[in-house]
Every structure is written in structure tokens, then in C-alpha cells.
Amino acid sequence: MAKPGERRLQILQTLAGMLEDPKGEKITTAALASRLNCSEAALYRHFASKAQMFEGLIEFIETSLFGVINQISGNETDGLRQIELILSLLLNFSQRNRGMTRVLIGDALVHEKERLQLRINLLLDKIEAAMKQALRVAATQGRLSPDAGFAELANLLLCYVIGRWQQYVKSGFTREPTAYWARQWPMLCVACLYQKTEFQKTEFQRTET
């Protein structure tokens, strides 16, 4: 017999698996219980509601992502390399976790409690803040101008990731998030470094005058 913690994990894993259906149909507790060969009442012994099950998935996503993001920030000293690793993490996590990608873009939360989307919004805000901090590190290392638009750049990079997640889900999981990554990262990197070039131009013009 599974222990309470193991059963909770099994429920979340099954929910995530059901979210991988490309049709994106609404998941009911009845369907979830059927998949687990148990009653709906048995589900509610572990989770007070379906919303709480989704909260469990969001907590798993946040723990998984920030466990690695914190390692990147602590172990990698180069700011731009931190950005590269964070972006790669976000794309690869999505590719390995189809159902959770639907949660990240809010596709699986359309008919659920509003607070779930608010939690995802906060999670995305934290990811954006982590990238903004990495850009600031890059600036202290002379890789970006000290007055670069860190907020704008971080938002641009996050929008790139969300766009790849969206394509993945809306294509029925055929357009993988990591496709073109090897070629697109240099393009994104140029967008970051452009800030430094423009800063240098401005400084040169000030010197000339």
C-alpha cells in the first residue's frame, strides 16, 4: 500500500500525464480517479480540491526550476553564461514536461481557479527577475553597458521562452522548444550586446563633443 506522500506524488504524476493530451480537454476529478483506479473521495483524502492538485504541480515546477537557477547563479560567474544556462533550462524543462508546459502558459488553467494563474504569473515574474539580475552581473563584468535596459532585456528573453512554450503546446507538441536553440542563442546574445555597442557609441560621441 502506497504511503500518503507517495500517493500524492502518484496523483500529481497522473495529472501531469493527462495534461499531455494534445487535445487539451478539461480534466475532471472523475477522469483522474478513473485513471488511478480509485474513487473521487480517495483523491480528496490527499488534496482538498482539484485546484490544490494544480497548486502541487506549480510547486513542483517552481522547486525544479529554481533549484537549478540558484545553482547557476551560485556556480557560474559569467553573467551572460548565466542567461544562456537559464534559457536552456527553461526550454529543456518544457520539452521534457509537456503537461507542465500547459500549466506554465496557462492553457491548462483556463477553467480553473483564478489564483492558479496568479501563481504562475508570480513564478514568471521570479524567472524574469533572475534573468535581470544575471544581466546586471554581466554589466559589472563589462559585457553590457552599466545603464543597459536590464528590465527590457529580461522581459524580451522571457517572451522568447514563453513563445517557444506556446508553439510547443499549440502545435500538439511537435514544434520542440529547443529547436533552433543553438542558432537562436547567438541572435539573442547579439541583442544583449547591442546595448553595450550603443552605450559605447554614446560615450564616443560625448568625448568627440
Give 12-45 pLDDT, tens digit per residue: 999 999 999 878 778 899 999 999 999 999 999 9
Give the Cα separation of 209 and 207 in Å (integer).
Answer: 5
- What residues have CB less than 8 Å from 149, skipping those under 6 apart? 195
What does the pLDDT read at residue 24?
73
- Sorted by where each begins, the domain ranges of the chain are 52-208
Give 77-133 pLDDT, tens digit per residue: 999 999 999 999 999 999 999 999 999 999 999 889 999 999 999 999 999 999 999
Compute how many other C-beta atoms are within 10 angstroms of the C-beta atom of residue 154.
Answer: 21
Q: How far is CA 41 from CA 45, 60, 99, in A?
A: 7, 24, 24
- What residues have CB less than 8 Å from 25, skipping those under 6 apart? none
Query: How crowded is the C-beta side of 200, counted as CA atoms within 13 Å?
Result: 9
Give the Cα separation of 160 and 170 in Å (integer).
Answer: 15
Give the Cα separation of 158 and 63 in Å (integer).
Answer: 18
Question: Helix, strand, coil proportions of the chain in percent (round to 5)?
Answer: 75, 0, 25
CATH number of this structure's domain 52-208: 1.10.357.10
Give the Cα separation of 142 and 144 in Å (integer).
Answer: 6
pLDDT tops 90 at residue 176: yes
Give the Cα separation of 144 and 149 in Å (integer).
Answer: 10
